[in-house]
A and B are shown apart, each in its own frame.
Chain A
Amino acid sequence: MIVFNDVYKRFGAKEVLNGFSLEVRDGETMVIIGHSGSGKSVALKHVVGLLNPDAGDVQVDGAVVHDLDRDGLTALRSGIGFVFQFAALFDSMTVRENLELGLKRQRLDPRVIEERVHESLALVDLEGAEDKLPAELSGGMRKRVGLARAIALRPQYLLYDEPTTGLDPVTSAVINQLMVRTREKLGVTGIVVTHDMTSAYAVGDRIAMLYRGQVRQVGTVDQIRRTHDPIVRQFIEGRPEAATDLQTAPPGVER
């Protein structure tokens, strides 16, 4: 279980998270939606200790992430796969080397590593791309390699940062399918950060909207689809006045 407890985070004068609280239950896929720049990536990075909260805490299986020492953090991170927005592949390494890096770090047997690389690439339909360099791949393929690199570690949790952003609709659908397939095959608990509602509905069990540093509303896919909250409605329907209303809406509106 991943729990955000009243998390505050600011960069200089910019308050990004303002009492963000959310519970992600074991086995579910939680989708966090919100406008660009609303702090979705920042929230996600707290889970693996890439960022530490100014106040509040994030707990993974009961352990407070920012209290972990180096070894504790290493252990935590080896159980969490992170799929980055632009894949963040190591561009001096081949696809195979990208996948092997984390596995070698866990000191797995070379045969197991070989097998994992093969299986993980198969899971994202990229068999045969082992010796390619990231620069030789399309955006969609890079994202799939990023996903393969994360699942190669057989994590208990998978965190996706905008898995479909910037992809054409067909490639997006492929990625959505892969995310669903990954979850079925590996039984992972997931957090998916996105502003792509098609993707949110396709992969999520529950959806939470991040708005002004807090969770505006959280509910099942159906609850969110039928929401009467004006801010959430505007966002999921993609109506342009959302952007202007968001500046004028009174703060602290009831969820």
Chain B
Amino acid sequence: MSALGRGGQFLGDVGRSLRETDTWVSLTAVQMRRIGVQSLPIALFIAVFAGIVLALLSSYSFTGAVPLYFVGTFVGKAMMLELAPVLVGLALAGRVGANIAAELGTMRVTEQVDALETLAFNPNAYLVVPRALAATAMFPVVVALATGLGIVAGWFTAINLLDLSSPDFVKGLRLFYQFKDVWFGLLKAMSFGFVIAMIGCYKGLNTRGGAEGVGRETTAAVVMGAEMILVLDAFWAVVLL
């Protein structure tokens, strides 16, 4: 309960520091680039394999009872709605969340955060806001690219390994398509990005006790980030589907 209170207080402090635009605006672009560069390789890697598996999995499940072009439907829906945001989110909880927690944790234990404060900066405006905004903005971009590549991988698998033609795959893909499929996945990605960055920052800034402390908080940030993604995933499904 007190953990929830402290989390809420942190959220409020960070929200208030949004006013200090002259501090965070220029730093956000740098963080966006960093998060993009860090995330893309792993996200695309995951997408390719998820796409392959989805195509094979669906054709196996249909066993001829369902027309094969539904493979396109299945791959598209599953990638957009669930697999791209969640798999990529979980991977980035490790990649981005750990990176933020370790960086800020090291800055905390080496007194660089204190130094920032004595130079009259607000660490929330200087460190947290750029990372939270950058992750919120970049996760949907990364997930969108992963979704696209995942579908392409599924299509490629379908025409090469399954007895499906390109037009049929596309027909299936468009069959029950709604615009909501797209924005639902991207909204989830935004919320994952925000939460992963905020947890990383919170754990990092509250690090105590040298290198050991940095390791401990970094691990904690990854675990908590992954848990929160699964919780949020269920939350959005309940609220929006």
Q: Is the CB of B110 within 8 A of A88?
A: yes
Q: Is the CB of A77 within 8 A of B115?
A: no
Closest to B208 in A: A11
What sequence of 0s and 1s flags, for each residue 64-106 of chain A, a beta carbon within 8 Å of any chain B beta carbon?
0000001000100110111011101111000000000110011
What sequence of 0s and 1s flags, for each residue 13-51 of chain A, a beta carbon within 8 Å of any chain B beta carbon?
000000000000000000000000000000001001010
Measured CB to CB, the closest approach of chain A to B115, in angstroms, equals 4
Bound CA span A102–B121, Å: 8
Q: Is the CB of A77 within 8 A of B114?
A: no
Tell me, yes or no, whether B157 is within 8 Å of chain A by CB: no
Partner of A50, one of B112, B114, B120: B114
Closest to B17 in A: A70
Tell me, yes or no, whether B117 is within 8 Å of chain A by CB: yes
Bound CA span A154–B110, Å: 24
Q: Which residues of B contact A91 (CB under 8 A)?
A: 110, 112
Q: Count contacts on A: residues with CB < 8 A to the other chain.
A: 23
Q: Is the CB of A77 within 8 A of B112?
A: no
Closest to A79 in B: B120
Q: Is the CB of B115 within 8 A of A88?
A: yes
Q: Which residues of B contact A105 (CB under 8 A)?
A: 119-121
Bound CA span A153–B114, Å: 16
Q: Which residues of B contact A80 (CB under 8 A)?
A: 118
Q: Is the CB of B120 within 8 A of A102?
A: yes
Which residues 105-130 of B sit at the A interface, judged by CB distance below 8 A?
107, 110-112, 114-122
Partner of A86, one of B110, B118, B122: B110
Bound CA span A233–B115, Å: 34
Q: Is the CB of B117 within 8 A of A86?
A: no
Closest to B121 in A: A105
Q: Is the CB of B118 within 8 A of A82?
A: yes
Of the listed residues A48, A82, A85, A88, the one surrounded by the most CB atoms of chain B closer than 10 A to its CB is: A88
Bound CA span A116–B107, Å: 26
Bound CA span A192–B119, Å: 19
Q: Which residues of A contact B119 (CB under 8 A)?
A: 77, 101-102, 105, 149, 153
Bound CA span A129–B119, Å: 21
Measured CB to CB, the closest approach of chain B to A46, in angstroms, equals 12
Measured CB to CB, the closest approach of chain A to B111, in angstroms, equals 4
Measured CB to CB, the closest approach of chain B to A95, in angstroms, equals 14
Q: Which residues of A contact B116 (CB under 8 A)?
A: 90
Q: Is the CB of A88 within 8 A of B120?
A: no
Of the listed residues B118, B121, B122, the one surrounded by the most CB atoms of chain A closer than 10 A to its CB is: B118
Measured CB to CB, the closest approach of chain B to A186, in angstroms, equals 17
Q: Is the CB of B115 within 8 A of A84?
A: yes
Partner of B120, one of A45, A78, A84, A86: A78
Measured CB to CB, the closest approach of chain B to A50, in angstroms, equals 5
Q: Is the CB of A85 within 8 A of B112?
A: no
Of the listed residues B107, B111, B114, B121, the one surrounded by the most CB atoms of chain A closer than 10 A to its CB is: B111
Q: Is the CB of B118 within 8 A of A48?
A: yes
Measured CB to CB, the closest approach of chain A to B28, in angstroms, equals 16
Bound CA span A85–B116, Å: 15
Closest to B106 in A: A91
Q: Which residues of A contact B121 (CB under 8 A)?
A: 101, 105
Q: Which residues of A contact B120 (CB under 8 A)?
A: 74, 77-78, 102, 105-106
Closest to A48 in B: B118
Measured CB to CB, the closest approach of chain B to A155, in angstroms, equals 10
The 5 closest A-B pairs by CB, nearest first: A102-B119, A88-B111, A88-B115, A82-B118, A74-B120
A-B contact pairs, 24 of them (CB 8 A): A45-B114, A48-B118, A50-B114, A74-B120, A77-B118, A77-B120, A84-B114, A84-B115, A85-B111, A86-B111, A88-B112, A88-B115, A89-B112, A89-B115, A90-B107, A90-B112, A101-B119, A101-B121, A102-B119, A102-B120, A105-B119, A105-B121, A149-B119, A153-B119
